[in-house]
Structure 1
Amino acid sequence: MQKISLKDYVLIISALASFLTPFMSSAVNVALPAMVNQFQIDVIMQNWIPASYLLSAAIFAVPFGRISEIYGMKKVFTWGMIIFTISSFLSAIAPSAMELIIFRIVQGVGSAMIFVTSLALISEAFPPEERGKAIGITIAVVYAGLSLGPVLGGILTRNFGWPSIFLITIPIGILTIIMVLGKVKVEWANQKGKKFDVVGSVLYSLALFMLMYGFSTLPNLNGIGLIIMGIVLMVGFVKWELYHPSPIFNMKLFKNFTFAFSSLAALINYSATFAVALLLSLFLQYIKGLDAQTTGLILVAQPGVMAIVAPLAGRLSDKKDPQLLAAIGMGITTTGLFALAFISENTGITFIILSLVILGLGFGLFSSPNTNAIMGSVQRKYYGIASATVSSMRLIGQSFSLGMVTLIFSFIIGRVQISPQFYPALLQSTQVAFILFSVLCFTGIFASLAKRNRKKAEY
């Protein structure tokens, strides 16, 4: 019997962790109407149940990316799994919507620690010629989590209540913690001994919080003020990082066009696609009158196709131009989003499933090659911050996607609990969101095809 190598253990552990977080996100989207019914909350607070988790993860991703480089990637990963598992239990027993949102913020911290280290661990453990394949497998597991999330989330919510979707992740979290402590004896800390940039971390976290929270509260004047303050702090963060001897985010890496524009493409893609599951979950359950279980079975079409395409695209990106593959994927995704802009109360389920299949094909073809392009554009010592960048672009993009939906809801629906009288407004909001997402995704094609560097970043 062949002995399991260290890189195989790293891949298994990273895959388990990569399954949990997307599973949780997609399952929560399906369970939202049940949560709304129990807690009796309006549509804006409803959106904060998934958004609080993503915003928290986005805020802490970059600081923990730097911490992992200094103190050890395995250590940060392990603590992230512990925090995620404990907060899952707390979320399951939350007695109110506000406490659920607080526990989801804590869960976001744990997820940030997992996000920023999982890709970096794979990049450390696998040689360059095998990295694309390993990344493709990991991303396929992400999509498996996204695929099972709606199905299991719908079944669990219907039969056992929404808290069960949090409880089911706990055994997987415990197994992952046991494996990483028992089987991975190596620690990776490529910047060991360097100082941690506390000021930069505070500036980044505050800037991102003000930008995202301010955006979600528009059109209130407070929201405009927060956005302005966020922009000022972000400019201050960039200037601070450029001259700090040990920055949490090496801004000079963005001089590499492959790194810069592939990161921008990831931000655009996640901004344009993440809220699709939320919008369709509300559309199918409210307007089409389906239950959570049936809704989950329909929504599985997109991530199911992703799970098939992602590993193939990852292998292909080891041989072909990853940026060109990512651009093709972005174009296919744009087509799927534009098709969904025409949904109405008379739209058939077959049309929705076909649109989701197109989206799954496009996103699967985009994600693995784009990630490989980012990780392959930097030297080994920057894997931690490159992994943190990939995670940050995903998380900020996902937060921005929910923020756009929240903004559209606030303009068209208002702060009300969704009921039949507001179904026309919900449908209009959904159509507007898909038009906006398709335009945004179209611009991402050009970011994917932007000028590239042949030389790796050496800053």
Structure 2
Amino acid sequence: MSDYYTQNPAARWLALASICIATFLVPLSMSAINIALPAIADELQADAVLLSWVPTSNLLGSMMLMLPAARVADIVGRKKVYIVGVLMFCLTSLMVIWIESIEWLLVSRFLQGLASAMVFGTGMAIVTSVFADGKRGTALGLTATSVYLGLTCGPMIGGWLTEVLGWRSVFWAPVPFALTSVLVVILNVKGDYKAEGKQKLDWIGSALFALWISAFFFGLSGVPDTGYIICLLLGVGLFFLFLRQQGSAEYPLVRLKVLANNKVFSRSMISSVFMYGAHYPVLFLMSLYLQYLKGMSPSESGQLILLQALVMACLAPFAGRLSDQFEPRIIATTGCLIYGSGFAMLLWIDASSSQAYIAAALLALGMGFGLFSTPNNNAAMGAVPPDRLSIGSALMNLSRTMGNMFSMTLVVLLVNLVMGEAEITSQQYPDLLRVIKVAFALAFAYTLVAAYASFSRGNVRNT
């Protein structure tokens, strides 16, 4: 299909635009919902623990389906799976119109996670295929920019929608734009982009993968209760069973030996796990901090959080172009260290911290992550064979989602241990601040691990 895009360069960029629309809307929905959490808690009478599961349940669904969705995409075509994912995202977003309890909202968020797995498990692979003959770093940079623009606009749009139309509008408002993305894909992405040769889905591996993820993270969220500990141990056992099964399966979800031997890709995954682990709880924690402890409105807090994602969006394409010319590990590692400096600043915040100080910390976070993400993805996807691009894309998105899920599960655990199952009131503000500071300290440690993994992956151009 590269000849088609060579002869029709406009179609190449329209294909990229169609992917960018969806990769803009999904993170926009995620970040906008974080701003709406206090309003959701008020209307649905949700306690602190259930409220923290609103972003977490989405991640759980995304993780469970990420690898199986990628393998299905390699078998039946990445374009088909992508379209199904976007349509499912639209349907699950519209469910919120009839939801009247926090439990059903969590179900809706879980289903949205399944849909996002199909979108992110194929989107990067389609972009990599369309731009296989050049400008891959730039294209991936623009894809990353769409993600960061979604994160950028999410808090601001979410705050405005929550105040004007109510929190439910945060869910249904993106639907018309998502349907536009499907139409653009159908018209401009030519071919299905599937792997050649005999391919089969590993059903047993898919089931084991979903089971160990569900048991492990659900169990971790409720430690030290006995039932949750049993669930956690069950998840660990299922994980090792999954690894053993993958080693003997004829068509495994992941070829573990190949992954272990690909140092560039495996270290890129590790750095992605820890950087996204540090990144994801920021919106959730800052939303609670600014609205509860600082007394800001949803729109005001969204505008302040906007700074971080805005810097990320501006730097991502620039970092992508740099990674086409210079070693990605140098750019990405620098980003890790700058990102860590932002968390070092956030360790000192309290109820009296100035907005200028908070803004400076958020700017450091935005600058660091903007320098990290695209070079890291460019290095990883450049080390993947063409017939495994879907699974490579899914693994990188899985590393992102796994980092998100692990860190958010720890936040849920912290909330459970420190605050308990009670609605957030002024009496709990000191405990809330304690949870926020511990979470930011963990995030700082994650960035140091990510920096080491990023730097130690080696030079891409000598690989």
TM range (shorter): over 0.9
Gaps in structure 2 of 5+ consecutive residues? 1-6
| Distance apart, 1:8 and its partner CA | 1.5
The question of whether the paired residues in 2 share the 8 Å contact of 1:207 and 1:229 is answered with: yes
Residue among 127, 134, 141 paired with 1:129:
134
Percent of aligned pairs with the same amino acid:
34
**Structure 1 Cα separation of the partners of residues 115 and 56 of structure 2:** 15
| Distance apart, 1:285 and its partner CA | 0.4
User: How do residues 419-438 of structure 1 correspond to structure 2 at under 5 angstroms?
Assistant: 419-438=425-444
**Structure 1 Cα separation of the partners of residues 378 and 123 of structure 2:** 14
Using the size of structure 1 for normalisation, the TM-score is 0.97
**Structure 2 Cα separation of the partners of residues 407 and 105 of structure 1:** 19
Using the size of structure 2 for normalisation, the TM-score is 0.96
User: How do residues 24-423 of structure 1 correspond to structure 2 at under 5 angstroms?
Assistant: 24-191=29-196, 193-251=198-256, 252-423=258-429
Q: Secondary structure at the match of 2:134?
A: helix
| Distance apart, 1:452 and its partner CA | 3.0
Residues 228-237 or 386-395, more deviating: 228-237
The question of whether the paired residues in 2 share the 8 Å contact of 1:136 and 1:311 is answered with: yes
Deviations 1:72-123 (A, max 9, x none): 0000000001100011111243121111111111111111000100000001
Residues 444-453 or 77-86, more deviating: 444-453
**Structure 1 Cα separation of the partners of residues 382 and 145 of structure 2:** 19
Residues 128-137 or 311-320, more deviating: 128-137
The question of whether the paired residues in 1 share the 8 Å contact of 2:336 and 2:450 is answered with: yes
Deviations 1:391-413 (A, max 9, x none): 10111111112111111111211
| Distance apart, 1:336 and its partner CA | 0.3
The question of whether the paired residues in 1 share the 8 Å contact of 2:268 and 2:453 is answered with: yes
Distance 1:454 1:183, change over 3 A: closer
Q: Secondary structure at the match of 1:5?
A: helix
Q: Secondary structure at the match of 1:194?
A: coil
Deviations 1:186-228 (A, max 9, x none): 1111145311100010111101111111111122122221221
**Structure 2 Cα separation of the partners of residues 128 and 260 of structure 1:** 24
**Structure 2 Cα separation of the partners of residues 371 and 236 of structure 1:** 29
Q: Secondary structure at the match of 1:129?
A: coil
Aligned to 2:21: 16
| Distance apart, 1:185 and its partner CA | 3.3
Alignment coverage as a number of residue pairs: 456
Deviations 1:262-298 (A, max 9, x none): 1000000011121011111001100111110101000
Gaps in structure 1 of 5+ consecutive residues? none
Aligned to 2:4: none
**Structure 1 Cα separation of the partners of residues 109 and 222 of structure 2:** 19
| Distance apart, 1:37 and its partner CA | 0.3
| Distance apart, 1:15 and its partner CA | 0.3
The question of whether the paired residues in 2 share the 8 Å contact of 1:91 and 1:104 is answered with: no
Q: Indicate the RMSD between aligned Cα atoms, in angstroms.
A: 1.5
Q: Secondary structure at the match of 2:325?
A: coil
**Structure 1 Cα separation of the partners of residues 358 and 196 of structure 2:** 48
The question of whether the paired residues in 2 share the 8 Å contact of 1:377 and 1:456 is answered with: no
| Distance apart, 1:454 and its partner CA | 5.5
| Distance apart, 1:9 and its partner CA | 2.4
Residue 440 (str. 1) matches residue 446 (str. 2) = yes
The question of whether the paired residues in 1 share the 8 Å contact of 2:278 and 2:447 is answered with: yes
Distance 1:120 1:301, change over 3 A: same
**Structure 2 Cα separation of the partners of residues 92 and 27 of structure 1:** 17
**Structure 1 Cα separation of the partners of residues 55 and 365 of structure 2:** 21
The one-letter code of the counterpart of 1:352 is I
Deviations 1:393-436 (A, max 9, x none): 11111111211111111121111110000001101111111111
Residues 135-144 or 176-185, more deviating: 176-185
